[in-house]
Amino acid sequence: MNDKTKIYLVAPAMLFGLAFFSGASAWCQNEARSEARINAPTPNVAAPAAAETYPPDPVVLSTKAANEAPEGSQWQSRNWHMQSTIVGQGYPSFRASYSAANSLPARGQARETVSLDFYGGYRLWNGAEFHVDLLSWQGFGLHGTLGIDDFPNGEAYKVGTRAPHLDIARFFIRQTIGLGGEKEAVPSDQLTLAGDEEYARLTLTAGRFSSKDIFDSNAYSNDPRTQFMNWALVADITWDYPADSLGYTTGVAAELDQSKWSLRYGFFQLPNQRNGFTAEAQYLMWPSNSSAGDFRFFHNWGMVVEGEHRFRAGTHPGAVRALGYLNQGEFGSYEAALSVPGADISQTYANRHTFGFGLNAEQEITRNIGMFSRVGWNDGHNEAWMFTDVNHSASLGISIKGERWHHPDDTVGLAGVFSGASRVNQEFLAAGGAGILDGDGALNYGVEKVVEAYYNHRFPKHLQGCLDYQFVADPAFNRARGPVSVLGTRLHWDF
């Protein structure tokens, strides 16, 4: 089946999905009304969101979205959870004056990704938890996750595979030390055990996990499995955050929390190859990966620090976070690559540092409406090592729960992103250089612009379905290509 045929199949699938969501929703409502006359409400149906609560506290590594009701707060000694997410995306043909190996194919394409996680948690002693996440993934992002810097699928890994692969994505110990005072209930979740913790606490985490588990959280734009799917809307796109090709690494983190503010610090291992794997991957993946790192933990590293202030605007909660990071490794230099034939940046590797800053804000407007924004910047002198080639970016969006149309667990989201490259990065791309995601062989520079809109519908029995549309102008900072319209569907199940 060629890519054009796949595109022809994607559009009917979208329409079928919309009809299916609507019909299934009506059927489920009718069934619920019938059962309500006979039986008591089932505990498996998601409860309505709480009216006036602060957004989920990222200190507990929660994956809950804004306004989502907790499953329960009874004390647990162990738990387990599962999730699976299937994403299909495609786009029709678009205008392109020229192309190269990293360019998004102009003829159109459709791709899918599948992830499956099994989470297990065990309470070791008072305040200490051990968690493990067994991940299976399969599929490819559009063009092998190349050609768009604000990439449209947050579930697409940079190492696609036709057959399912396995990875121990997370295994870590978290020790929480209470500092006295009032306590809050902690719900059972994929990476937390139900119980209670003091608002004032020190939390230490060590092992293999995602630095995004702790840093740069946002109640309305954080999880590509249930919220926005674009990379620039689930993270600070300018933060080249410590991670292997799957988004995980080994490291340590410390978090100091009070009722209205938090301070966080993390030190993590970087892969020794661009878009590579860290050293432990050779023991934790199946099939094993030959590009795993070399255990030079204190040679290739990333540090990150974040401060968070939580507040209320009237009765509505909000938060502001400021993040800074510093990475060290054998990075290539854009400026040095300009003097190399073909702008081959791999010929310029040397021990270098990259740093950057980001702001992240969220604010509840009404009980069912929230807004968010991220602004980020990095120095733009060295090549991107793990995430994207973006050097400065700003995003703004809104998230609306469906209570007004009698679907309180549904969500509509709309957001826009502007992302750009530094001057020397522009010169590098114009000279024919290739980044971690981009490289069209030439460059007519323009800021990459993205608009994403989605509707996420929650079915009974832990199932969610989503329709998504993304408009991408000047993909990979190039005015000679695009715009591109990306259509997407998502099916998410968790238990």
pLDDT per residue of the chain (495 residues) written in tens, 0 to 9: 444 444 433 343 443 343 333 444 443 344 344 334 333 333 333 333 333 333 443 333 333 444 343 444 478 999 999 999 999 999 999 999 999 999 999 999 999 999 999 999 999 999 999 999 999 999 999 999 999 999 999 999 888 899 999 999 999 999 999 999 999 999 999 999 999 999 999 999 999 999 999 999 999 999 999 999 999 999 999 999 999 999 999 999 999 999 999 999 999 999 988 988 887 877 888 887 666 666 777 889 999 999 999 999 999 999 999 999 999 999 999 999 999 998 999 999 999 999 999 999 999 999 999 999 999 999 999 999 999 999 999 999 999 999 999 999 999 999 999 999 999 999 999 999 999 999 999 999 999 999 999 999 999 889 999 999 999 999 999 999 999 999 999 999 998
Going from N- to C-terminal start, the domains of the chain cover 3-46+53-494
Please tell me the pTM assigned to this model.
Answer: 0.84
Determine the pLDDT at residue 65. Answer: 43
pLDDT of residue 300: 92
H helix and E strand count, the chain: 5, 19
Which residues, other chains included, contact 308 with Cβ-Cβ below 8 Å and sequence gap of 6+?
Answer: 58, 261, 262, 263, 264, 319, 320, 321
Residues 290 and 319: beta-carbon distance below 8 Å: no
The predicted pLDDT at position 298 comes to 81
Fold adopted by 3-46+53-494: Porin (2.40.160)
Check if the beta carbon of residue 456 is closer than 8 Å to that of residue 411.
Answer: yes
Give burial (CB, 10 Å; 0-12/13-18/19+) of 319: buried
Question: 233 and 416 in contact (C-beta within 8 Å)?
Answer: no
At 426 the pLDDT is: 98
CA distances from 315 to 12, 114, 322, 362 (A): 44, 40, 23, 14
The pLDDT value given to residue 6: 42
